A and B are shown apart, each in its own frame.
Chain A
Amino acid sequence: MFERVLAYDFRWSILWEPPYADMLLDGIRMTLVVSPIAWGLACMLGVAVAVCRTAPWRLPRALGTAYVEFFRNTPLLVQLFFWYFGVPQLLPPTAQNWLNSVNVPLLGLTLNVEVWTLIVGLAIYTASRVAETLRAGIQSLPRQQTEAGLSTGLSRLQLYRYVILPQAVRLMLPSLTTEFLTTYKNSSLGITIGVAEMTFATRQIDAYTFKGLEAATAVTVLYLAISLTIAGIMAIVERATAIPGMIARRSGGMP
């Protein structure tokens, strides 16, 4: 068995040789650009959906529930294919051409239509999970908060803006930061629609050198190292923003 292991010619140097090292570095940069943007959008959309789901009117509640049930129960890959391959079929040719010419330079990367599809797809998927988390947070607040807010003359909008959401978001911050790690790991699906992130770099290096094992090992270790770093930063943020007097929710670590 070991002869066979040795029969494979390891070449770890591809990890720091000129063209391949740049592929890896660009991949890391792409992952680190895509994940925060997608997560930020997901949080905003998630807040909107969570507010809909806890609203006292039936229509927004139904729409919010439909959104969550649909996007949480289908695979992210299928959603990405739907946005990337499916939706353009319905658009007029001018809109398709415009989409294909999108190029936003950011931090030395060009964010083209593939990257934006990944960002939006991730955001829409993650928002359904964020909305569920926030809804639990909102519903865990004592009802007197709502009653007191309304009786002081706040409108529904003001009630959410100044009373409910600040508490719910702070209460649920550990879960929201966990969602960031999920988004960061899910950005690896960019490989399926041609976004040059870290996982894509693995396959690219394998295609050029047939040294897929070295590349996959390196990228796996990189993912882990970045995950642990993010988790460490998140733990500090969580401690700083915990609401004094409320039960400290310990972060569940990595999802």
Chain B
Amino acid sequence: MNFDLGVFTPGNLRFLFDGFVITLRLAALGIFFSFWLGTAAAFARLSKRPWIHYPAVVYIEAIRGVPLIMVILWFYFFTPVFTGMPLENFTSALMAFVIFYSAYLAEDIRAGIQSVPVGQIQAAYSTGLSTFQTMRYIVLPQALRNTVPALVTRFIILFKDTSLAYVIGVRELTHSAYIISQREFRPFELYTLLALIYWVCTFSMSRLARSLERCLAPDRRVALKP
């Protein structure tokens, strides 16, 4: 049994921090883009036009039957063939994350849209709003409010899964720890710290989410002030 905290030299910690910044960038950009693509896919799946509806169904169900690592690898092999030039690993991983998570977010958002009472839509139409306006001002705000818990959970999962970008050599947090542990032969200390860093981030995110839910829940706010 040997345990040595001497491995956490300022240089190594700095290296880990650089990786952490890349992890945060990957997660933030992934969350941003997959939110919009996911919303679009959710509306596409709910569309009554078959040529919009069925492609969305196939996209969502196909992605959800495949592991994320395969999507990352597939983009990694596919983009140089299609664009004729090798893409930066970061961009390739980001594209894979967006395509993968949009499918899951689409289902979360669709559930939220379907939880909006039909009366709301009918009322919106009868006040003369167009379909787009109804969606934009009536349905989507309520739908998103209903899906906040699911969305936050999904974002936490996305944050954890950024570690898989390691597979194609993106130098994010996990990859940085891997490099240091190979150099210093101190895997136990490094992976313990790594797990703690991820844990602190996800745990604080879930705590934040809980308070956010409390602020956003409209019924409970009414119930609290009778």
Q: Which of B63-99 contact A (CB under 8 A)?
A: 64-71, 73-74, 76-78, 81-84
A254 is contacted by which of B61, B160, B166 (Cβ under 8 Å)? Answer: B61
Q: Is the CB of B73 within 8 A of A74?
A: no
B67 is contacted by which of A188, A203, A213 (Cβ under 8 Å)? Answer: A188
Q: Which of A56-86 contact B (CB under 8 A)?
A: 69-70, 73-79, 81-82, 85-86
Q: Mark B46-74, 1 if CB is under 8 A from A, else 0.
A: 00000000000000011011111111011
CB distance from B112 to the nearest CB of A (A): 15
Return the chain A residue nearest B162 by Cβ: A75
B160 is contacted by which of A69, A74, A213, A227 (Cβ under 8 Å)? Answer: A74
Q: Is A212 an interface residue (CB 8 A)?
A: yes
Which of these binds chain A: B31-39, B123-131, B185-193, B212-220?
Answer: B185-193
CB distance from B142 to the nearest CB of A (A): 22
Q: Is A207 an interface residue (CB 8 A)?
A: no
Q: Mark A185-196, 1 if CB is under 8 A from B, else 0.
A: 110110110000
A215: which B residues are within 8 A, CB to CB?
77
Number of A-B contacts (CB under 8 A): 131
B181: which A residues are within 8 A, CB to CB?
85
CB distance from A230 to the nearest CB of B (A): 9
Q: Is B224 an interface residue (CB 8 A)?
A: no
A89: which B residues are within 8 A, CB to CB?
2, 186-188
B8: which A residues are within 8 A, CB to CB?
none
Q: Is the CB of A5 within 8 A of B81?
A: yes
Q: Is the CB of B65 within 8 A of A73?
A: no
CB distance from A224 to the nearest CB of B (A): 4
Residue among B62, B70, B81, B194 with max Cβ neighbours from chain A (10 Å): B70
* Bound form: Cα–Cα A188–B69 in Å: 7
Return the chain A residue nearest B156 by Cβ: A73
* Bound form: Cα–Cα A185–B3 in Å: 34
- Count B-side interface residues using an 8 Å CB cutoff: 46
Q: Mark A216-235, 1 if CB is under 8 A from B, else 0.
A: 11011001100110010000
Q: Is the CB of B163 within 8 A of A75?
A: yes
A77 is contacted by which of B74, B174, B186, B203 (Cβ under 8 Å)? Answer: B174
Return the chain A residue nearest B81 by Cβ: A8
Q: Is B223 an interface residue (CB 8 A)?
A: no
* Bound form: Cα–Cα A220–B76 in Å: 13
Main SS at interface, chain B = helix
Q: Is the CB of B198 within 8 A of A73?
A: yes
Q: Is the CB of A77 within 8 A of B83?
A: no
Q: Is the CB of B191 within 8 A of A81?
A: yes
A213: which B residues are within 8 A, CB to CB?
74, 77-78, 81
Q: Is A4 an interface residue (CB 8 A)?
A: yes
Q: Is the CB of A199 within 8 A of B70?
A: yes
Q: Is B179 an interface residue (CB 8 A)?
A: no
Q: Is the CB of B83 within 8 A of A255?
A: no
Q: Is the CB of A86 within 8 A of B1?
A: no
A191: which B residues are within 8 A, CB to CB?
69, 167
Q: Mark B125-168, 1 if CB is under 8 A from A, else 0.
A: 00000000000000000000000000000001000110110110
Q: Which of B174-216 contact A (CB under 8 A)?
A: 174, 177-178, 181, 186-188, 190-192, 194-195, 198-199, 202-203, 206
Q: Is the CB of A69 within 8 A of B203?
A: yes
* Bound form: Cα–Cα A216–B96 in Å: 13
* Bound form: Cα–Cα A231–B62 in Å: 13
CB distance from A199 to the nearest CB of B (A): 5
Q: Is the CB of A216 within 8 A of B73?
A: yes
A253: which B residues are within 8 A, CB to CB?
61, 64
* Bound form: Cα–Cα A219–B66 in Å: 9
Q: Mark A169-206, 1 if CB is under 8 A from B, else 0.
A: 00000000000000001101101100000010011001
Q: Is the CB of A90 within 8 A of B188?
A: yes
Q: Is the CB of B78 within 8 A of A216?
A: yes
B61: which A residues are within 8 A, CB to CB?
253-254
CB distance from A225 to the nearest CB of B (A): 8
Q: Is the CB of B78 within 8 A of A192?
A: no
Q: Is the CB of B84 within 8 A of A227?
A: no
Return the chain B residue nearest A81 by Cβ: B191
Q: Is the CB of B191 within 8 A of A78?
A: yes
Known: A89-B2, A224-B62. 4 other contacts (CB 8 A): A4-B83, A79-B195, A186-B67, A206-B77
